[in-house]
Structure formats: structure tokens, C-alpha cells
Amino acid sequence: MESNTVSIQNIDHYVISTNEIAKINDQILPSIEQQELICYVDGSYSHRMQIGHSGFRASDGSSTVHSYFPQRPRRGSTESEVFAAGLAIQHAFENCYNTL
């Protein structure tokens, strides 16, 4: 089993309401090309394919991570959602995303 260690220097995060996400267009986005990983957090990974109980999905569909934890309840827990967020951050660093 391979083990990866990620050293995080700085993370900028922001919250955008679902209504605001629908309003984003090319004029608002920066002119420079960048890779962006957006993980929508609502605790319903199993139904909406977002960061949730034990995994995440990149908004561009490039990666989905879902881990099975038999000891955790079906509906998940705060602990497993934090773990999923950690997986998303690790994925962002390993794949050179500028924005998370």
C-alpha cells in the first residue's frame, strides 16, 4: 500500500450559495487558465455526488473518491465528512489545482 504525505502551506476557501453558482459566467472567471476543483458540501454524497459521508467528486468529473467504512453509520458522520474533505484537498494538491 502506497502512502502519500501532503504538506499544506496555504488554503484559500470560500462559500458560494447554490443560486450564485448558477450565475457564474466567463466574464466573472479570471482570464488566466487555471484548474479548479469545486466540491459542493451538503453531506449527501451518496445521492448528489458531492463531498459527503466518505468521499467527494470533482466538479469537472475528473475524479470520484468513495471509501467504504463498515464501522461508520450509513448516513455518515462529521468525522467521515472531514475525512472526505481531506481527500479532496489531497487530490487538489496532487493534480495541481489552483483553487479549491
Quick count: other Cβ atoms within 10 Å of Cβ 97? 19
d(CA 25, CA 98): 18
Q: How far is CA 81 from the centre of its chain?
A: 10
Q: Domain residue spans in the chain?
A: 37-100
Assign 97 a pLDDT band (cuts: 50, 70, 90).
Answer: low
Model confidence at 89, pLDDT cuts 50, 70, 90, reads confident
Which one has a higher pLDDT value, 96 or 34? 96
pLDDT per position as a tens digit, 19-73:
554 554 444 444 334 444 455 444 443 333 344 444 566 656 665 555 544 455 5
Q: Is 33 helix (H, G, I), strand (E, B) or coil?
A: coil
Question: What is the CA angle 63-89-43, rounded to 5?
Answer: 75
